[in-house]
Chains A and B, each alone.
Chain A
Amino acid sequence: MAHASIVLENVTVDFGGYHALQNLSFGVPEGQFAAIVGPTGCGKTSVLNMVAGLAKAASGQVRCGGRLVDSVQCSAAYMFQQDALLPWKTVLENVLLGPLLRGAARRDAETLARHWIARVGLKGLEARYPAQLSGGQRKRVAMAQALICGLPVLLLDEPFSALDAQTRVLMEEELLTLWQEQGATVLFVTHDLEEAISLADRVLIFSAGPGSRLKADYRVDLPRPRNVVEARFIPGFMDLYRRIWADLKEEVLASHERSKASA
């Protein structure tokens, strides 16, 4: 799991003349769990897409593990905000897809996949199709699909935003447990500040777009291993939340004003 750091240098992202991100620079050292929080439209997802190699920066560089990212890269797992499971494949086939595509023998991939399906609590549902699962179950499949390859970088784009509050906490807990075992470098995009603080080592606040930049960078010094629910009752949590929220609120309001003005 060597060289899994993520570095962005002076990155600018354009959407047809609209600068979503401008001169963005930050680095995430290997093994760190970094959360990105910012108002809608600030280009959070673009950052993940660039690290994954799905999108290109208009200028600047993205490095992952010391290597320049210039095409879809194979050292990052990505959990999308939207459903991205293959609907024509069963749970088992979806989960074993990563190892299979990377050249594992079908039997080995299947054994590994069964193990991971059990890990995310879906034992017995291997033969179901995604359409036959609940939203929470589909996210579990997506999680197993993303984690099974044990890749050094994990990109998560509001993976739990569509879930109800209880399911969400369970999934966060699950993610944290699995991450603490694997120790991947994580970029976790979310709208939810509470989620960001309870999961991450570090919270990056993006300013409102257009021309979004890194506004603030907070370390979360809550102890590990952490429990998502209990973390919220640790004395330092509320204090940190208040400080970060003060920063974030300005941006959320700015974003709100801008969208009102343009509407």
Chain B
Amino acid sequence: MSAPKLRHRGAILALQIGILAAILMTWETAARVRVLDPFFFSQPSLFLARAFTWLTNSGPLLGGRSIYEHLLVTLVETAGGFGLGVAFGVAAGFLLGRSEFWSRVFNPYIQVLNALPRLVLAPIFVLILGIDERSKVALGFTLVFFIVFFNAFRGVREVDRHIVNNARLLGANERQLAWHVLLPSAMTWILSSLHTSVGFALVGAIVGEYMAAAKGLGWVISQAQGNFDSAGVFAGMTILCGAVIVIELFVNAAERRLVRWK
């Protein structure tokens, strides 16, 4: 990297931090002079302090659990929804992508299920699976599944014909073709949707916790809202943002590792 570019980078970072600081200061000032009502909008000094208290007290605070336990619950639900969604999405996309016949048979069902705003399924999952983690995993799954499914499907369908022919002539049977050509091709599509998928798994977990739960970050935020505690809502959001940033770092690393060849 050349020197001017490095300077550029420093400038960008400085500006990014500056913008955040400016927003927080404006917010704080506006709340203090009562342009914004702190009852609804809280103020950075209050909710950051709250988040700090939560994060530094590892003992039970909220509903008998520390913030870390709540965070862990949400992350486990996210990981569950994501993992199951990816596994089934890849499998289904792969199978239907390989079979013109079955993809036609299932096409209307997939279209309808995909068009359905799947968050409406949340109450049903709560009814069937209860208010524990399983209903959140199920919700995340329905969100992630379709994203991954469509990408795997396209990846298998749109694999370069010449690459397939080449592999066949090199001696690949159907199984080898799937392993060496179709799966990697689908992988590039799936990976391109990884960020969206992880995001949706988190949406599933948080929304599920809003609806009915006894733990998790979504529950913390929803509790705070029920108590007209706007500082608690924003503190929960701040911690959620932090968690998302960490998750994104992992996703980026995974992506770099898996598409080294690009």
Contacts and interface: CB of A to CB of B under 8 A. Distances in A.
A88 interface: yes
A77 B169 contact: yes
B166 A84 contact: yes
Interface stretch (B132-140, B157-165, B199-207, B240-248): B157-165
Contact of A76 (B167, B169, B173, B176): B169
A87 B180 CA distance: 11
Contacts of A52: 165, 169
Contact of A88 (B165, B169, B261): B261
B168 A72 contact: yes
Interface residues of A, number: 26
Interface string A35-72: 00000000000000000101000000000000000001
Contacts of B172: 101
Contacts of A97: 167, 170, 180
A92 to B, nearest CB: 13
A145 B165 CA distance: 13
A88 B189 CA distance: 13
A131 B188 CA distance: 14
**B interface bracket (residues with beta carbon within 8 Å of A):** 20 to 34
The residue in A82, A88, A89, A129 that gathers the most chain B C-beta atoms within 10 A of its C-beta is: A88
A98 B160 CA distance: 18
Nearest to B164: A84
Given A101-B171, A129-B260, A131-B261, A80 B176 contact: no
Contacts of A145: 166, 170
Contacts of A77: 169
A183 B20 CA distance: 70
B152 interface: no
A80 B171 contact: no
Interface string B142-164: 00000000000000000010110
A149 B167 CA distance: 13
B34 interface: no
A74 B261 contact: no
Given A78-B165, A86-B163, A101 B184 contact: no
B262 interface: yes
Interface string A70-107: 00101011101011111111100000011001100000
The residue in B170, B173, B180, B260 that gathers the most chain A C-beta atoms within 10 A of its C-beta is: B170
Nearest to A98: B170
A102 to B, nearest CB: 4
Interface in B41-90: none
A97 to B, nearest CB: 5
B171 A78 contact: no
B181 interface: yes
A80 B166 contact: yes
B165 to A, nearest CB: 5
Interface in A92-141: 97-98, 101-102, 129-131
Nearest to B160: A84
The residue in B168, B185, B187, B260 that gathers the most chain A C-beta atoms within 10 A of its C-beta is: B168
B174 to A, nearest CB: 11
Given A86-B184, A88-B188, A88-B261, A54 B170 contact: no
Given A87-B261, A131-B262, A101 B176 contact: yes
13 contacts: A72-B168, A74-B169, A85-B166, A86-B166, A87-B262, A88-B261, A89-B180, A98-B170, A101-B180, A145-B166, A145-B170, A149-B170, A149-B171
Interface of B: 160, 162-163, 165-173, 176, 180-181, 184-185, 187-188, 260-262
Q: Closest 10 A-B residue pairs measured CB to CB?
A: A84-B166, A129-B261, A101-B171, A84-B162, A88-B184, A102-B171, A98-B170, A72-B168, A78-B169, A88-B261
